[in-house]
Amino acid sequence: MMSNTNILTSLFLLPSLAQVAFSAVTKRATACNNSPDLCSKTYNNITHLGSHNAPFLRDASTGNSASGNQFYNTTVQLSAGVRLLSGQVHNNNGSLHMCHSSCTLLDAGLLSDWLSEIKTWMDGNPNEVVTVLLVNSDDASASDLGSAYTTAGIASYAYTPTSTTAPSEWPTLQTLINDGTRLLNFVASLDDNTAAPYLMDEFTYIFENNYDNTSPSNFSCAANRPSTVTTSSALQQNLMPFMNHFLYETSSLFGTTIESPDLGNITTTNAASGGTGNLGTSAAECTTTYGQAPTFILVDFFNVGPAIAVVDTLNSVTSPVGRTNVSTAASAPAASSGSTRSEVSTFSLVAALIVAFVLIA
C-alpha cells in the first residue's frame, strides 16, 4: 500500500507527466516546412522551392518593372511555401544593396533590410528552415556581408557547416530547428568566409545546371557550374543538385542584346505537365539523371503553376499545412504586396539602358 506521502507525490507529479506526454505528442505532430513528413528528412534529401531574384518585384511598387522576377514580396513568398530566396548583392556607394544587374535598373534596398524582412517572418514561423543564396556581384567580403546579417539580427539563426567540403548527409530539418540554426546561407561566390563561417561558398556545396536559357527547349540537367565538375563528378563529391528553371526573353537596344524575365511562357514553364519545357517534366528528368530529386528548384514568378505543386510531388507531400494560398495568375496583385522599392517606370528603364549603352560605347 502506498503511503500518504507517496500518494501526494504522485498526484503532484501528474500534471508534469501529462505535460511531458503532451509535448511528445505535439512534437511528433509538428510540421517542418509545411509538412510533418519532412521533419525527419535531411536537408539535402528534400526539394526546396526557390524564388529567383526574390526581392525584385514586378508590381505597383516598382512601376511593374520589366526587370522584376516575382509578383509577390519575400514575406508572401515564404508564407506560400518558398524556402530558398536568391538575390543579387551590389555595392551602391559603399552600402550593400539588393539590385537587379545594376542599382540604376532596379534597387530593392539595403541587404540588411531584406534580411530583416526574412528574420521577421522566421521569428513568427519557428518550425521553418529557410535558405538564402546571395549572388555576390561586386565581391563583397565575408566581413561586410556578415555586418548586414548582424544589423538585421539574423546571424543567430545561421547554420555553420561542420566541414569545409560537402558532406554526404546534412542535418535533418528537425535537428536544424531544435538547434536554432535553421537559416542556411550560400554565397556565389566567396573565397574566404573566416569572418563569417556561416556564409558558405555556394559551389563548395552545390552544383547548378545552366541558368541562361531563352528557349523552352534549352533546359538541361547537365552540370554547368562550377565549371570544374561534370554531373557525375559533382554527385560523387556530394554536391547538392540545384535546378534552374526559368527563361529569359531577349530584345535589342542599339545593337545590344537585353535579357529580361520571360513572362510570355511562364504558364508552361512553371506547369506540372504539358508543353515543352514544363517544370514537372524537367524535374522528373533531372531526378532520373541525378538519381535523386534536385535539392533546389529555382523559378521566376513562383505563384504561377503553381510551382510549389511540383515540389510537393517530389517531396511526397500531399497535405501541406500552414501555407498561405496566393493567386496563380501570371500578373501582379491588384494592390501592392507590401514591399517598398525604388520605382522604375518603363521610361526610366529605357533611360537607364541608354545611359549604360552610352557609357560602354
Helix 111-124 and helix 142-152, axial crossing angle in degrees, nearest 10: 50
One-letter amino acid at 18 equals A
Residue 335's pLDDT is what?
62
Above 80 in pLDDT, residue 50? yes
The residue from 48, 52, 90, 97 that is catalytic is 52
Residue 223 above 60 pLDDT? yes
Per-residue model confidence (pLDDT) at position 63: 95
Sign of the C-alpha dihedral, residues 83, 218, 166, 309? positive
Q: Is 52 a catalytic residue?
A: yes
Helix (H, G, I), strand (E, B) or coil at 281: helix
Q: What is the pLDDT of residue 42?
A: 98
The model's confidence at residue 254, banded by pLDDT at 50, 70 and 90, is confident
How far apart, in whole angstroms, are the C-alpha atoms of residue 280 and residue 245? 10
Domains annotated on the chain, with CATH: 32-360 (3.20.20.190)
Buried b (16+ CB within 10 A) or exposed e, 158-190: bbebeeeebeeebbbbbbbbeeebbbbbbbbeb
Convert the pLDDT of each residue in 60-85 to its tens digit.
Answer: 999 999 999 999 999 999 999 999 99
Q: What is the pTM of this model?
A: 0.87
Q: pLDDT tens for residues 153-187?
A: 999 999 999 999 999 999 999 999 999 999 999 99
Number of H helices, E strands in the chain: 11, 12
CB of 202 within 8 A of CB of 188?
Answer: yes
pLDDT (tens digit per residue) in 166-175: 999 999 999 9
In this structure, are residues 74 and 85 in contact, taking their beta carbons and an 8 Å threshold?
yes
> Exactly one of 48, 97, 100, 245 is catalytic; which is it?
100
> What pLDDT, on the 0 to 100 scale, is given for residue 269?
98
